[in-house]
Structure 1
Amino acid sequence: MRITHFKITNYRGLRLAIASNLQEQPLSLVTGKNGTGKSLILEALTAAWSGNINLPDFVGPYGHSLSIEIGIEFDEREYASVDRWRSDRDLPPVHRSSEHILEAVSTNRDSTGTYLQRDEMLETVQNELFSRGHPFAAIDLLSARRQVSLTTSTSVDLDLLDRTASAEQRRMMYDQEIRWKSAMQMPDIGTYLMSLDYRDYVAARDGLETGEEYQRLREIFHVATGKEISLPKYDPETTQSSIRVTLPSGETHALEDLSNGEREMLGMLYYVSQLSAQGGVLLLDEPEKHLHPSLQLAVLRAMMTVASRGQIIVVTHSPSLISASPSENVLIVRPAWESAENQAQRVADIDDESEVLSDLGITRRDLFQANYLLVVEGPDDEKRLRMLCPGEIAGAEVVVAGGRDAVLRTADTLRSLEVGVPWICVIDRDFLPETAAGDISEDGRVFVWDARMLECVLISPALLARVLEPGLSAGDSLENTVRDEVDRLKPRALEQFIEARMGERNLPAELVNVPDSSLDPIQRRLDLERRKIEFRLSEYHDVRAEVITEIESAWAGGWRHYVDGKRVLSALQKKYRVFRDAATLTDALMICARENEDLMPPDVSRLKDTLRKIQASRPSVKFQASESESRDRSIREAVTHGAPEPALNLTVDHSFINH
């Protein structure tokens, strides 16, 4: 079951929101500024579907009536379930259609709402007796007002895994969430994990397929955090079970010591996994709350993996989630006072690309005042570039993407949008081969340091001699010292580059899916890992030889591409003791390079020239003329004096929504 379209008119502060072809993407993101009505879209869809929300209370200020229209499609499996259920009750089969329309209407003079359009298919799937036994028949709301459970019980509660019971419980809470903005309690993650393990144990004992949900959660969590969640362990002495978390360092801690963000991530995965089990629609409001960007992306990846069986519509402010999603998957909601037209538009259809950037965390004022956009990997990069190039960056709006890959994704998004604001991305070279670095920077949109990292750029004998002068003794050869330290780190550079290049070798497609019906799910997963290891082992000697040849041939003049510059500067700081730590030495080198043009490394000069060209190329940013004055006047008249009630022009039946 998927929502194909919606049209919401005058629901609370939402004047008009229309979206179509939603069924084409199992995951849709809705974004926009605060106060535009993004969350109201989810509320309205929930209210119309649940039937137990008093709609007259939510008629907005843009007239005296509201209308919520939802198009829904079903697959043949779902039609068959409905026909069997109806046949058992001597009811005829339902009519198949590419889309079934549900329309709920109300005026603020009524005591209840009314279904204006609803056929026998929708009447059946909305019937409580049917939905209790068929979890796909649900539109479930997970609001932004979530309360993270602070306990981590180790008991088993199989009701947590019963999507029907969970959906029924959630349905009972909709009125409190929508009307009173009550916070919802996230599930206890300890109980959730214990229940999953118990269910899988019983299923395996009875020879049933387990679904490997526990293992999938462990893998998602490990990718996002680097931490491993253990299987439950039983202690016969205490008669208690426990779940431990292993850190990358090898140390362990109890499940209750997870951060609030990690707990909330697992709690959201609980709802997402329930959706994957039976289908249905999940409306998720601001999943990024309390979550680090790495956890946000992990939740997004999990949603994209499981949403194929149903549909997820997500409201978000997160630049990480928006930039990681295709533009056709993202809807932007504009304020009602900015246009008399549809407030919801697909990013791929928007002409004013500056709106997209605004919803990535950059305001219109920022766009109007900024000379250009500068996208960097992390906060440290922003700090250092401001220190190194203060004049060139003074008028820039800096966007911290959260890593090199995120910067490159942002660059792809900006290229596809053809934004009318100049922009430039800056990244470290890291482990990129020469050809890859050249390809990335070919169009001039991405500046790649001609060194593994910025610290390597700063390892200039003349610059170092000026900064470390107080610690140098007569006869010291700083150049030789640097060279000795660089050569000492060469074996480590070889090892790091071999490992990085091996990580880029993926298993060929023909070796990924090798069917073997004799293997159970665990064996198939282990067999896939075996094939990956065998493939990489077969590639190892070739990769190693390629890396050694590359580095050996380039080392004399190109060691800055390979050596760990942080370690070189750390060794120099410890030897000469002019600064208290390597970070302070790095800052001093940047300040000295900035203030002494004759000592400035060539790559820093190259960056400054690039930023100056970007500054000079800034076009004027144009926005459509606002119609806010006339709209404000009409809104005030509607609210203060009232306006003639618009004729619905349709016969209204009396099967009330709330009964």
Structure 2
Amino acid sequence: MRLSRLSVSNFRGVREFAITDASSLPIAVLTGSNGAGKSSILEILAFVGRASGLGKNVIGPYGSHAEVEASFTLNDREFEILDMECRDKLGRPAEKKGEYSRRAIIGEGKNRQISGSEELEVAFSPEFRASHPFSVMTLIDSTQIFQLKNSPRISLGAPFNPQATVKSHSGWNHPAVDTEGYLASLDYESMLANREGAGGEDAFAGISEQFRKVTGRILLRPSSKRTTGSSYISVALPNGHHHGLEGLSSGQRVALGLLCLGHYLKTTGGIVLLDEPEAHLHASLHVPLLNAFRDLTSSSQAVMVTHSREIVAALPPRCIIEVHRDSGKGNQAHRPSAPYGVSAAVGHGAADDMLMDFQLVVEGKYDEDDLLSLFPDEISHARIVKAGNSHEVMGHHRSLAASLNRLPWLCLRDRDLMPKEETQRLSSEYSNLHIWPRRAIESMLLHPPLISSVFLTTVGYKILEGEVEELLRELADPLMGEVAETLAHAEINRMHPQPRRTDFSSVPELNRASARVHENRASAWEEVVATQRDLVQDRWEEEWLDLVDPKILLRSLQGKTKVFGRHQFLKKALMTRAGQDQQVRPPGVEEFRIKLERLRASV
């Protein structure tokens, strides 16, 4: 059984919510901002499916009653089973339909009006659900931690029955209410199958292996406690020690419960409603545990509420339903289209568009840490994409500009050693590009007021702004040669580019051409370096702070002053102060902050 359509109106904070064509989705994920009504939608769906009751004050402010209508589909096997039950209970065969609907009108007090398909009334009856779990809907809320008592008893009602057979085994304990019993039942079934030579899946071993991959711990087979006559499941730790299931942390209990629940759905069918299953889990576990609910059969479905970027990003857009806060403008459910947000080439998908305020493309792997030191509040709301280098940043800009992206975005790159004219040209041609006014982000920290303030307030080292500038210049002048050689290297590559493989018919020809390029580069090196030294010398007086390698200069500054233990600590202190104190913030950093502020304001 699967949910195919759902409409909700005036239930708690949900004014209007409606989805269709959900029966094709093995997993349907509701995401969006807090207060949009996602958990309320699960609550009323569980009520319609007789998985739970309703709390108090459920009628919203938009009318005198709340209303919900849900439709479900059955596969052929499920219909045949329900048909036999309808003949017995209703005195007639079940009517074959594409979907079966159930409607509830909820008034004040205990006023409930339930109507709809008689077939669903039979399917949701306690008697039918007890023997046919495909019609069972299970709600797992965000507070449930899968309690483990570790005295497992299988569904036959005894720890072990030597006369039992696989055929006589009546089923498994439900993992949502008896996780350890479910595991014991799986192990028991495997034991019976081995005794009869039936073979097949060893489900206990499969879950144990999944649990090991997720947590590093191994579930051991149930064993008997002779003193009490009960069974017991142990967990083996990486250090060789053992403890019982009751010794698992809350996150490990959730992980084990979800693994068992995923297996149960695949085996028996049914619908599970998961409200923020990631609540007790580290982000690294979100996707591995989501995988437990992949490849569900047509008898099963998972409907999930989540705030996890990892979970949403791991699913195709068709599985995502974004729930908007009520704006009085119709349906709060929004389905992302195929090109939702930016193209896949940029490296993110629906999750980032829904759960973050804007996207920021940067060059290197350390840029995110630097920017978080500068502006932690602003950057914490950004989806950071690490392009790899300045060339890739420009490629991302072109992709984003040509996409259907509705998330505000900005590309950030170093100036490197570009002339001012080239920087101005790129800034005018690429409207969402920010280029640091100096060579790199660290160059922005070479600001005398900032350095003077950090030295004084952090360690009590008093140095005037003019003295800082003189010291920086003294340390920068010996680095002029590095600038000339860097420029010379770029010029040499431009003058003598590497040959392209497609221009040659054989590898030996390509190798000989490459060797000639290296010979030409070596011959031209001294002359090109000398030319660049002269050019740098001409620019140095006015542009030395723009040209010098800031990483080397910061190391030299720390080595000279020995104010901080390491130059990385100096850099961190400068970043933090530049973000906190506008009075000493470098102008280029303030310009970047204003752009971030405008991005967030445009959301």
**TM-score for both structures, normalised by structure 2:** 0.58
> What is the distance in 2 between the residues matched to 1:215 and 1:619?
51
User: 2:360–2:384: 8 Å Cα contact kept in structure 1?
Assistant: no
**Aligned 8 A contact 1:187 1:267 in 2:** no
* Number of residue pairs aligned between Structure 1 and Structure 2: 426
Separation (CA, whole Å) in 2 of partners of 1:237 and 1:133: 35
Question: Closer, same or farther in 2 for the Cα pair 1:319/1:376, shift >3 Å?
Answer: farther
Structure-2 separation of matches of 1:296 and 1:616: 30
The 8 Å contact of residues 148 and 264 in structure 1, kept in 2 or not, is answered as yes
1:616 CA drift (Å): 9.8
Question: Once the 2 structures are TM-superposed, how far is the Cα of residue 100 of structure 1 from its aligned partner?
Answer: 1.6
- Residue 11 of structure 1 contacts residue 40 of structure 1 at CA under 8 Å; is this kept in 2? yes
| TM-aligned CA deviation for residue 92 of structure 1 | 2.5
Counterpart of 2:135 in structure 1 is 137
Q: Match of 2:187? A: 197
AA aligned to 2:45 is: L
Indicate conservation of the 8 Å contact 2:3/2:23, yes or no: yes
Q: Please say if residues 286 and 311 of structure 2, whose CA atoms lie closer than 8 Å, have aligned partners that are also in contact.
A: yes
Residue 123 (structure 1) aligns with: 121
CA distance in 1, matches of 2:354, 2:599: 21
Equivalent in the alignment of 1:501: none
- Asked whether the 8 Å contact 2:51–2:139 carries over to 1, the reply is no
Q: TM-score, normalised by structure 1?
A: 0.54
Structure 1 residues 283, 357: closer, same or farther in 2, change over 3 A?
Answer: closer
Alignment of 1:172-251 (within 5 A): 187=177, 189-208=179-198, 211-232=201-222, 241-247=232-238, 251=240
Q: Choose from 334, 338, 346 the match for 1:345.
A: 334
Partner of 1:502: none
Q: Does the CA-based 8 Å contact 2:36-2:323 persist in structure 1?
A: yes
Task: Give me the whole-angstrom Cα distance separating, in 1, the residues matched to 2:407 and 2:294.
Answer: 31
- Which secondary structure state, in structure 2, belongs to the residue aligned with residue 205 of structure 1? helix
136-145 vs 346-355, greater mean Cα deviation: 346-355
Q: In the aligned structure 1, how far is the partner of 2:52 from the partner of 2:232?
A: 41
Letter in 1 for 2:313: S
Contact 2:8 2:68 in 1 (8 A): yes
Residue equivalent to 1:79:
79
How far is the alpha carbon of 1:148 from its aligned partner? 4.6
Residue of structure 2 aligned with 1:319, choices 309, 325, 335: 309
Q: 1:471 corresponds to which residue? A: none
- 1:258 positional shift: 3.0
Structure 2 unaligned spans of 5+: 158-168, 343-347, 388-395, 414-429, 433-558, 577-587
- The residue that corresponds to 1:297 in the other structure is 287
Q: How far apart are the structure 2 equivalents of 1:399 and 1:275?
A: 36
In structure 2, relative to structure 1, the CA distance for the partners of 1:373 and 1:106 (3 Å cut) is: same
* Structure 2 Cα separation of the partners of residues 395 and 15 of structure 1: 32
Residue matched to 2:584 = none
1:276 to 254, 266, 277: 266
Q: Distance in 2 between matches of 1:3 and 1:88?
A: 25
Relative to structure 1, the CA distance from residue 52 to residue 224 in structure 2 (aligned partners, 3 Å threshold; closer, same or farther) is closer
Alignment of 1:355-504 (within 5 A): 360-362=354-356, 367=358, 373=360, 382-384=368-370, 386=372, 390=374, 396-397=379-380, 399=382, 418-423=405-410
Q: Which amino acid aligns with 2:323?
A: V
Q: Tell me the CA shift for residue 311 of structure 1.
A: 0.6
SS at match of 1:136: helix
TM superposition shift of 1:45: 1.0
Counterpart-to-counterpart distance in 2, 1:122 and 1:301: 30
Q: Structure 2: which amino acid aligns with 1:19?
A: I
Change (3 A) 1:377 1:11: farther
Is 1:17–1:342's contact at 8 Å kept on the other side of the alignment? yes
How far off is 1:421 after superposition?
1.5
Instruction: Rate the CA distance shift 1:260–1:351 in 2: closer, same or farther, 3 A.
Output: closer
Amino acid across the alignment from 1:140: T
Whole-angstrom distance in 1 between the partners of 2:401 and 2:321 = 16
Query: Secondary structure at the residue paired with 2:97?
Result: coil
Q: Alpha carbons of 1:154 and 1:75: their partners in 2 closer, same or farther (altered >3 Å)? A: same
CA distance in 1, matches of 2:600, 2:228: 71
What whole-Å deviation, never above 9, does each CA across 1:368-425 have from its counterpart, x for those lacking one?
xxxx5358999x87435556xx49x996456578999xxxxx9999997613412569
The equivalent residue for 1:587 is: 568
Aligned counterparts of 1:328 and 1:242: Cα–Cα separation in 2? 40
Tell which structure's C-alpha radius of gyration is larger.
2
Aligned to 1:155: 152
Deviations 1:576-605 (CA, angstroms, capped at 9, x unpaired) = xx9xxxx9758259669999xxxxxxxxxx
Structure 1 counterpart of 2:319, one-letter code:
N
What stretches of structure 1 of length at least 5 have no aligned partner?
A: 168-185, 405-409, 427-442, 446-577, 596-607, 624-659
Distance 1:51 1:217 in 2: 26
Alignment of 1:552-571 (within 5 A): none
State the distance in 2 between where 1:400 and 1:163 align: 46
**Paired residue for 1:114?**
113
Helix, strand or coil for the counterpart of 1:312? strand
Q: Deviations over 1:440-489 (max 9, x none)?
A: xxx9x9xxxxxxxxxxxxxxxxxxxxxxxxxxxxxxxxxxxxxxxxxxxx
Question: Larger relative contact order (C-alpha < 8 A, sep ≥ 6)?
Answer: 1
Confirm or deny: 8 A CA contact 1:72 1:100 kept in the other structure. Answer: yes
Q: Is the 8 A contact 1:31 1:315 kept in 2?
A: yes
3-state SS, counterpart of residue 294 of structure 2: helix
Report the Cα distance in structure 2 between the residues aligned to 1:143 and 1:31, rounded to whole angstroms. Answer: 15
